[in-house]
Amino acid sequence: MSGLGLFTRTRWADRAGLLSVLTITLMTLAAGVITPFDPQSRVAAAYLAPSAAHWFGTDEIGRDLFSRVLQGAQLTWLPAVTVIGLALFFGAAVGLVSGALGGWVDLTLQRVVDLFLVLPPMLIALTVVAVLGPGIVNTVIALVIFWWPWYARITRDEVRRLKGRPHFEAAQLGGIDPFCLWFRYLLPGAVPALVVAATLDVANVVLAMALMSFLGLGQPAPAAELGAMTARSLESLTVYWWLPILPAAAVWLMCLSANLAGDGLRSVLRGA
Amino acid sequence: MSEAALSIDRLAVVLHRNGAPVSVLADVRLALAPGEVLALVGESGSGKSTLGLALQGLLPAEAAPRIAGSVRVGGMEVVGARPPELRMLRRKVVRVVPQDPMAGLNPTMKIGRQLAESGGSGPTIRDWLARTGLHDAERILNALPHELSGGQRQRVLIAMAMLARPQLLIADEPTTALDTTTQAHILALLRRLAEQCRTAILFITHDLAVAGSLADRIAVLHGGRIVETASARALLAAPQHIYTQRLLTALRDVNTCPAAPGERGAGTALRLSSVTKSYRLGRQPVLKSVNLLIRKGECVALVGESGAGKSTVLRIAAGLVAPDSGDVARADLRPQMVFQDPASAFTPWLRIGEQIGDRLGRQRDRHARVGQALEWVGLDPAMANALPGELSLGQCQRAALARAVVAPPALLLCDEPVSAMDMPLAVAILDLLSELRHRLGMAVLFVTHDLAVARKVGDNIAVLKDGELVEEAAADDLLDNPQTDYTRALIAAAPARVSIR
């Protein structure tokens, strides 16, 4: 079954989600090249309303808002995908070991996972950033610490489920070496659940990062961060509406796309 | 005489699969009088389940069904009826007893409430429970479905169906999931209900023996057409159509061909000595001191009702489960196993060839040996590239056999490998198994609830009851001259199959 075949059998909303996730990723990767103006320097008069020249208008010191939103999206989306990727890697590794070995190893690892799951997420993130200082790397570390246990739990449960199935018992009786048994006969079974959870979580990480930056714990000042941009201009909402609304709309669009794509992947992976 | 309970005239059904029209039923004519039991017999894919759905107006909408002809149930035309009429039909006129009793019940709702929703007051519900043989009504009504046995669930569903006093009862393979003794009770119950309540019963089955022991008449469905309808006795004695003759030959084959004895060596393939097992502390043990000996090249069929501990014996023999006490000695470290449902015995995301080949590790002739194993079981070596989901039931079980013998084991364990199959397919798989056994000199432990199958494959038959072996003897001796009451009861409960010669 080809990837294209899967794609054409999905609903239009799923297709829109998958397409816009792809578009957002490409746009954020190419942000440095495709921004019409330098996001950091003054290019026109302050407080210009959206127009053909400046699609999103200009901000309080005359910087092009579209360029700044695009850069802000880059600073949010790419770290969000990185957070999910790292959390998936560590979570799946711990979950696979825990589920496949069982016994006291499972018991111990799952209590560790519990420990991380009960930590209040924002508090951890704020603490890590407060201790290590603001910055993109520290934000990513803070969020990975919070996110990996969820994937560990999902992987472990899927692996435990598969271990009770006749097809795994059949594989066990075949005397296949343990490495092959784990990576060919167990882990792929957990992939659909993980992929769906991860896609939906991209939206949550985007929101978490926007929230941290809104609270002033994102990157230091000149960086164009969506949360900080909204926070700074919130009081001028009634006069210069584009200043808080358009960056917030970018956050909303990223979350919506990730959610639609997650739903789409779910229906493809469950239905196929 | 009132009107016929069911009359089908020139019914044709076309369903769409992946956009292409497929003719599933053509020119089906059938009539049932009130109180009559008609068995509809056919292999899987013959269209018998589609017919059952068509009678209730439940053909799947996504298959874009096109229906021609006429179906009248209790005087009401089903073809072309509007949804509210169909709902009334399904509530009052046609009721169904499904194949899987667990699927027919809501697992989160007490039986009492589910019965009440089906219509009927307290006293009538109790009355029907008693008539279906469930005498401790209080316990049943307050139970959740998982707290009942398979037989009890099926009785509840029959009571639920009969509460509406339907004119037609469709029983879609209602006993395939049950062991022989329970099956015999359920069949007798249906027979009695048809006589007492004048309800017509359409009994859908793939098992000609079950059909023969229950029905007044048998209709044989093949390729979407009814090829023969006759009284049960006449059809079994003198089948007219060549397809019916083939079905009957397959049935006789199971009954009369005892296994050719394998080459028995002197060594031991498997020895269980005083093996006990209980799954939860303090619970009734599943196995109480089981002793079993299988010599090299020998086939022992282990029979018993569900819950007797057959599967546990098998899993202990395989080394998947450790016994609580007792000794297990195997000639070979790696016995292989063939499962009841071959589809779930293959990892769905790996190709058949990969799963067979992984048994060989990194040997250089891996590819050739996988091809050879597939040829042994009568499959095209190109099948190695297929995913398990692309195989039919029969192909899948053949592939499972290929996987088991690609590195030939000294002991092969079989867990009811043909219980989900219709008779011709089952016979083909059993023949293949005995051929492989002789070619490779394997010992076999074959678990089944079906005495006829046990006789066909087993040199010896061992009878397991409540975790104890009650009898073990050569297959023919055991069936012709049983020593214990329990074995006699098992033989008596088996449908006509064992006695048909």
pLDDT at B500: 38
Q: What is the mean pLDDT of residues B397-418?
A: 91
Q: Which residue out of B279, B347, B411, B415 would a mutagenesis test of the A interface target, given it has the greatest number of A Cβ atoms within 10 Å?
A: B347
Is beta strand B443-448 parallel, antiparallel or unpaired with respect to B66-73? unpaired
**SS3 for B275?**
strand
With contact defined as beta carbons under 8 Å apart, do B203 and B39 qualify?
yes
- Tell me if chain A has a CB within 8 Å of the CB of B359: yes
For residue A197, what are its two tokens? 């959870």
Q: What is the mean pLDDT of residues A178-192?
A: 88
- Tell me if chain B has a CB within 8 Å of the CB of A185: yes
- CA quadruple B86, B92, B93, B96: dihedral sign: positive
For residue B438, what are its two tokens? 């002789």
pLDDT at B254: 63
A185 CA: distance to closest CA in chain B (Å) = 7
Q: What is the mean pLDDT of residues A37-53?
A: 85
Which residue(s) pair with B445 in the sheet?
B300, B413
- Tell me if chain A has a CB within 8 Å of the CB of B85: no
In angstroms, the first-to-last Cα distance of chain B is: 38
Q: What is the mean pLDDT of residues B337-364?
A: 88
Of A165, A173, A177, the CB nearest to B336: A173
pLDDT at residue A16 is higher than 50: yes
pLDDT at A10: 57
The reply to whether residue B348 touches residue A167, judged by beta carbons under 8 angstroms, is yes
pLDDT at residue B1 is higher than 50: no
pLDDT at residue A191 is higher than 50: yes
In chain A, residues with a C-beta closer than 8 Å to the C-beta of B339 are 166, 169-170
**What is the CATH classification number for the domain harbouring A249?**
1.10.3720.10
Residues in chain A, overall count: 272
pLDDT at residue B169 is higher than 50: yes
> Residue A175: closest CA among chain B residues belongs to which residue?
B359
> Residue B354: closest CA among chain A residues belongs to which residue?
A184
pLDDT at A2: 44
DSSP per-residue string spanning A69-138: HHHHHHHHHHHHHHHHHHHHHHHHHHHHHHHHH-HHHHHHHHHHHHHHHTS-HHHHHHHHHHHH-SSHHH
For residue B129, what are its two tokens? 């429970």
DSSP per-residue string spanning A7-59: HHTS-HHHHHHHHHHHHHHHHHHTHHHH-SS-TTS--S-TTPPS-SSSTT-B-
pLDDT at B283: 64
Residue A269 confidence class, pLDDT cut points 50, 70, 90: confident
Q: Which residue out of A8, A161, A167, A269 would a mutagenesis test of the B interface target, given it has the greatest number of B Cβ atoms within 10 Å?
A: A167
DSSP per-residue string spanning B424-492: HHHHHHHHHHHHHHHHHT-EEEEEES-HHHHHHH-SEEEEEETTEEEEEEEHHHHHHS--SHHHHHHHH
- Tell me if chain A has a CB within 8 Å of the CB of B410: no
Q: A137-141, A155-159, B33-37: which has the minimum mean pLDDT?
A: A137-141
Residue B222 CB contacts under 8 Å (≥ 6 apart), including other chains:
B42, B43, B46, B241, B243
Q: What is the mean pLDDT of residues B157-180?
A: 85
Taking alpha carbons only, the member of A265, A245, A247 closest to residue A257 is: A265
Residue B498 confidence class, pLDDT cut points 50, 70, 90: very low
In chain B, residues with a C-beta closer than 8 Å to the C-beta of A166 are 339, 341, 344-345
Number of neighbours of residue A38 by Cβ within 10 angstroms:
13
- Tell me if chain B has a CB within 8 Å of the CB of A166: yes
Q: Where are the alpha helices (DSSP H) in B79-230?
A: 83-88, 111-117, 122-131, 137-141, 150-162, 180-197, 208-214
For residue A256, what are its two tokens? 């919506």
Q: Which residue has the tokens 């490779």?
A: B440
pLDDT at residue B80 is higher than 90: no
- Share above pLDDT 90 across residues of chain B, in percent, rounded to a whole number: 16
The reply to whether residue A175 touches residue B334, judged by beta carbons under 8 angstroms, is yes
Of A167, A180, A189, the CB nearest to B345: A167
Mean pLDDT of chain A: 85
Cα–Cα dist A212/A128, whole Å: 12
For residue B465, what are its two tokens? 């009851």
Q: What is the mean pLDDT of residues A23-29?
A: 91
- Tell me if chain B has a CB within 8 Å of the CB of A102: no
Burial category of B80 from C-beta neighbours within 10 Å (exposed 0-12, middle 13-18, buried 19 and up): exposed
Note the pLDDT tens digit of each residue in B108-147: 889 988 888 877 788 888 888 888 888 888 888 888 888 8
B345 CA: distance to closest CA in chain A (Å) = 4
**SS3 for B166?**
coil
In chain A, residues with a C-beta closer than 8 Å to the C-beta of B347 are 167-168, 171, 184-185, 189
- Tell me if chain B has a CB within 8 Å of the CB of A164: no
Cα–Cα dist B367/A16, whole Å: 43
Q: A73-77, B266-270, B297-301: which has the minimum mean pLDDT?
A: B266-270
With contact defined as beta carbons under 8 Å apart, do B227 and B242 qualify?
no
* Residue B233 parent element (H or E): helix B232-237
Of A167, A169, A174, the CB nearest to B358: A174
DSSP per-residue string spanning A155-218: HHHHHHHHHTSHHHHHHHHTT--HHHIIIIIIHHHHHHHHHHHHHHHHHHHHHHHHHHHHTT-S
A112 CA: distance to closest CA in chain B (Å) = 28
Cα–Cα dist B27/B67, whole Å: 11
Cα–Cα dist A57/A65, whole Å: 6
In chain B, residues with a C-beta closer than 8 Å to the C-beta of A171 are 347, 355, 358
With contact defined as beta carbons under 8 Å apart, do B411 and B332 qualify?
yes
Is beta strand B66-73 parallel, antiparallel or unpaired with respect to B76-77? antiparallel
In chain B, residues with a C-beta closer than 8 Å to the C-beta of A165 are 344
- Tell me if chain B has a CB within 8 Å of the CB of A124: no
- Share above pLDDT 70 across residues of chain B, in percent, rounded to a whole number: 94
Note the pLDDT tens digit of each residue in B239-271: 888 888 888 877 766 655 444 444 455 678 888
Cα–Cα dist B176/A170, whole Å: 24
- Tell me if chain B has a CB within 8 Å of the CB of A180: yes
Angle at the Cα of A10 from the Cα atoms of A9 and A16, rounded to 5 degrees: 135
Cα–Cα dist B306/B380, whole Å: 36
Note the pLDDT tens digit of each residue in A213-249: 888 777 776 777 888 888 888 888 888 888 899 999 9
Cα–Cα dist B174/B155, whole Å: 10
Q: B23-37, B146-160, B275-289, B433-447: which has the minimum mean pLDDT?
A: B275-289
Range of the domain at A59: 3-271
Residue A272 confidence class, pLDDT cut points 50, 70, 90: very low
| Sheet (strand B76-77) strand order | B20-32, B6-17, B66-73, B76-77
The reply to whether residue A173 touches residue B350, judged by beta carbons under 8 angstroms, is no
The reply to whether residue B355 touches residue A171, judged by beta carbons under 8 angstroms, is yes
Note the pLDDT tens digit of each residue in B19-56: 788 888 999 999 999 989 999 998 877 888 889 888 88
Note the pLDDT tens digit of each residue in B2-21: 578 899 999 999 988 777 88
Note the pLDDT tens digit of each residue in B91-113: 888 998 888 777 788 888 899 88
How many domains is chain A built from?
Answer: 1
Which residue(s) pair with B293 in the sheet?
B271
Radius of gyration of chain B (CA): 24
In chain A, residues with a C-beta closer than 8 Å to the C-beta of B337 are 169-170, 173
Hey, which residues 312-351 in chain B have their CB within 8 Å of chain A?
A: 318-320, 333-337, 339, 341, 344-350
